[in-house]
Chain A
Amino acid sequence: MRIGVITFPGTLDDRDAARAVVHGGAEAISLWHADADLKNVDAVILPGGFSYGDYLRCGAISRFAPVMKLVIEAANKGMPVLGICNGFQVLCESHLLPGALTRNSDLHFLCRDQEIEIINNSTAWTSSFTQGEKITIPLKNGEGSFQCDEATLAMLEGEGRVIARYVGENPNGSRNLIAGISNAQGNVVGLMPHPEHAIDALTGPSDQGLGFFTSILNAMVN
């Protein structure tokens, strides 16, 4: 099982994502933004950071990186893709996921441990969790407020495509406390908080983020 982790210029969390992939039991394959092939990976993770300096809009330039053309094609054919934080922003700009991530409502960059509830455990990246399970993982971003129009929000809620919600006070102004969503097929998932920073108790607030990385193995084996 080969999981690609893409590094764009300005990506920060590619190493933690690769480490989480290995902890989850798969092989981590480094992919570069300028790569013209996906090196036969079975799934791809777009990690967090500030790709291309967040210039223009978060994820707006990364969307046009050569490797993204291949990721978009593969995702549309069913390949599992997980975008975390900046990766989520890239997936929205790529139109693989609806909506957009905008500036936190209080304008502050947030960095804290955040409790989230898993709402949908039937996607490629959430099957290791139970529905309604609450986990605590780091949240660290300046532009994490999920926004979309009413029709899109109704579609996401109606089709069960909200995969995780913030628990407690809304940290960033996201509509309906949305922390993560999926595409209609469930192979593409975007998540604002960081499960890759919570895979063992030594370096994170918990090991509860590991479920995202074991889920993908279940999805590929079954």
Chain B
Amino acid sequence: MATIVVEVMLKPEILDPQGNAVASALPRLGFTFATSVRQGKRFEIEIDGEPTAAQLLEVEKAAEVLLSNPVIETYVVRVEK
């Protein structure tokens, strides 16, 4: 069994109000390290056995069509060890 991870992030030029809210909450709690926070989504997809190149291509396609909206988001597909 393997886990394929798809991470979806808003494009840098798209306003991220949730990330901004987190960024302004951190210093209120004494965490002063952050200059900026962006919030995204992480999908963990379980499959049987090791993923084949064809399966990874299918996941890429799903990430493009469903898991992300290419108008406002980018995605990264990787296999979790």
The chain A residues found within 8 Å of chain B, CB to CB, are 56-57, 60, 64, 92-93, 98-100, 102-107, 145, 147-149, 173
The chain B residues found within 8 Å of chain A, CB to CB, are 10, 13-15, 17-18, 21, 66-67, 69, 71-72
User: In the complex, A60→B66 CA distance in Å?
Assistant: 7
Most chain A CB within a 10 A radius of its CB, from B13, B15, B67, B71: B71
Residues of B within 8 A of A98 (CB): 71
| The one of B18, B66, B72 that contacts A147, using a Cβ cutoff of 8 Å | B72
Q: List 13 A-B contacts (CB under 8 A).
A: A56-B67, A57-B69, A60-B66, A93-B69, A98-B71, A100-B72, A102-B10, A102-B15, A105-B17, A107-B21, A145-B15, A147-B15, A147-B72
Measured CB to CB, the closest approach of chain B to A149, in angstroms, equals 7
User: In the complex, A93→B72 CA distance in Å?
Assistant: 11
| The one of A57, A64, A103, A149 that contacts B13, using a Cβ cutoff of 8 Å | A149
- B21 closest partner in A (C-beta): A107
Known interface pairs A60-B69, A99-B71, A100-B72; A105-B13 also in contact (CB < 8 Å): no
- A98 closest partner in B (C-beta): B71
Known interface pairs A56-B66, A60-B66; A148-B71 also in contact (CB < 8 Å): yes
Residues of B within 8 A of A173 (CB): 15, 17
| Inter-chain contact B15/A105, CB cutoff 8 Å | yes
- A107 closest partner in B (C-beta): B17
Residues of A within 8 A of B67 (CB): 56
User: In the complex, A57→B43 CA distance in Å?
Assistant: 13
9 smallest beta-carbon distances between A and B, as pairs: A100-B71, A100-B72, A107-B17, A103-B17, A105-B17, A147-B14, A100-B69, A107-B21, A57-B69
